[in-house]
Amino acid sequence: MRLVILDDADQVADWSARYVISQINKLNPGPEKFFVLGLPTGGTPLGMYKKLIEYHRQGKVSFQYVKTFNMDEYVGIPRDHPESYHSYMFHNFFKHIDIDPKNIHILDGNAADLEQECNEYEKKIKEAGGVELFVGGIGPDGHIAFNEPGSSLVSRTRVKTLARETILANARFFDNDLLKVPTQALTVGVGTVMDAREVMILITGAHKAHALHKAIEEGVNHMWTVSAFQQHPRTFFICDEDATLELKVKTVKYFKSICLLFLFEMDVPFVAGKLIGVFSACQDNTDSTRLTMTRHAKNATASQVYTYHEKKKDAQASGYGSQSMRFGKESIKDFDCCCLTLQPCRKPVVTPEGYLYDKESILEYILKKKREIARQLKEYEKQKANNEVDSRQKGMEVSQEVVREISTKEGIIAQKKGEPGMSQSVSNMAVGKSSQLPSFWIPQLTPSAKAGKMKKPDKTISCPMSGQPLKTKDFIDVVFTPVKDPDDKKSLIAKQNRYMCPVTHDILTNATPSAVLRPTGHVVTMECVEKLIKKDMLHPLTGQKLTENDIIPLQRGGTGFAGTNEKLEAKQARPVLQA
């Protein structure tokens, strides 16, 4: 048994069609040797049939020497009924290819003797030499053909009463009228399909994920008839990612890990296109293949079998942080980089809080914020004007209501007639005599969503890192002292050690605490500040008198992700367990 996991239903359709074609061409059928193909019906194989028709028109396959045996047919509906499987196969497949009608075999649900019809069908399969490849689909309850839960796993072609779940599922084909859905069908047995040399089962959609789980991860069970194919020597399930949602992580990893070996076992002469999930294969009629693996679905940790070693391995592969894994060196913002652009500053300036910006970038940021504030103010003034109009209108309505009540009490005015075409009750509602809306729709009484009340925007522009008010007059020009190395021909930006303390000549790095001296903007190490500058509070280069406010610690560290008010940290990745 093999499991082929593809990205979506379209890839399942394309892959399965190509495999059918490869097996037909590999046998090279002729007048004396026919290829016998078992075919399903339903929604899942429709995509495969469309692809087979497409490749047939391209001349990649001929069905002239192919015999087909369908899995099932309803009992009691005419062959030309739109939902009969005779009609389904003719319109969706047979009329588009070059197959000989005498080589088409579909069970007759209107036969006089249904048991005899089933026995003759088994006999025809044997006379044809057995089925080379049986293609099938499954239902959400794991049935294949019409072998419902509880069917014998060695059953042959027979009459079968349909389960209620199947009747409900098929009701969509009969105008959702359960009375129109047939309750019996003729179907090949599980044993009949097991006799085929190869079995290919198509499974797509999250609604069949539980059935796939039962089919390949649990034991053989007659309540899940598709599970019997675990014992077939050449069965493979073709599914999309959605159908794997209930599989264990180890199951998915195992089948994805053996995909290349499976490819060579299948010996497919051409598999064009990008089939993400198992492999990306070559162009038509070439032999080269390349592996393109994908991560499993979001439930990659949604199982108790997700071990510590798998978690550790996945964390390393995906780059997620944990308590023992931190962001790499490339994820740390350099000390001389702008907090907005994350690039080395050309004209560095620092805020009183110690955040470094490129002057051009921070000025552009301020201008953008001013434009945004101006836009919000305009919207606010517009809303304010509208509110004033609404208030005046509401005041007029209140005044009119007071006048109406007084006039009514005194009997001066007659009752107001309703609008043309409206009943008296509707008219009363329209003038506000009832607090309840009517049970039928009236345009003028339909509630409408109103825009939320907008608060007056704050004109203050905040620092994107500290959140403090930001003013251009508070910016301090920063002076970095380049490392003096005349023998080094590298540009300053390419050097690993670019700047140093102008007093101690210590190299400035991401790990070196440093500070900006406000009067001149020179960047010195905090060690220099503590040991030299704070003794007499004099500028070491100019001799100027300094205060505590003149020493601005330069903010360092953080992540290499630009953003506003964001301080990203590596946190432990905790798996989500599902019952």
CA distance 244 to 313: 21
CB atoms within 10 A of CB 535: 8
Instruction: Catalytic residue, from 132, 141, 195, 336: name it.
Output: 141
Residue 35 tokens read as: 């290829």
Residues 6 or more apart in contact with residue 534 via CB below 8 angstroms? none
Instruction: Catalytic residue, from 143, 213, 296, 539: name it.
Output: 143
At 27 the three-state DSSP class reads helix
CA angle 436, 440, 443 (to 5 degrees): 90
- From the centroid of its chain, how far is CA 544? 62
Instruction: Catalytic residue, from 73, 132, 148, 336: name it.
Output: 148
Specify which residues 67 forms β-bridges with: 36
Instruction: Catalytic residue, from 14, 72, 246, 358: name it.
Output: 72
CA distance 515 to 529: 8
Residue 348 tokens read as: 């560095």
If we measure between CA atoms, which residue out of 545, 547, 552 comes closest to residue 524? 552
CA distance 88 to 98: 17
CA distance 131 to 124: 11
Specify which residues 160 forms β-bridges with: 185
What length is written for the chain?
A: 579
Within 506-569, where are the H helices? 526-528, 534-536
At 325 the three-state DSSP class reads strand
CB 165 within 8 A of CB 141: yes
**The one-letter amino acid at 207:** H
CA distance 316 to 218: 31
Whether residue 195 lies in the annotated active site: no
Distances from the Cα of 379 to the Cα of 62, 203, 566, angstroms: 68, 54, 28
Whether residue 458 lies in the annotated active site: no
User: For the chain, how are helix, strand and coil distributed in percent, rounded to 5?
Assistant: 35, 15, 45
Whether residue 143 lies in the annotated active site: yes
CA distance 290 to 150: 43
**The one-letter amino acid at 317:** A
Catalogue the active-site residues: 72, 141, 143, 148
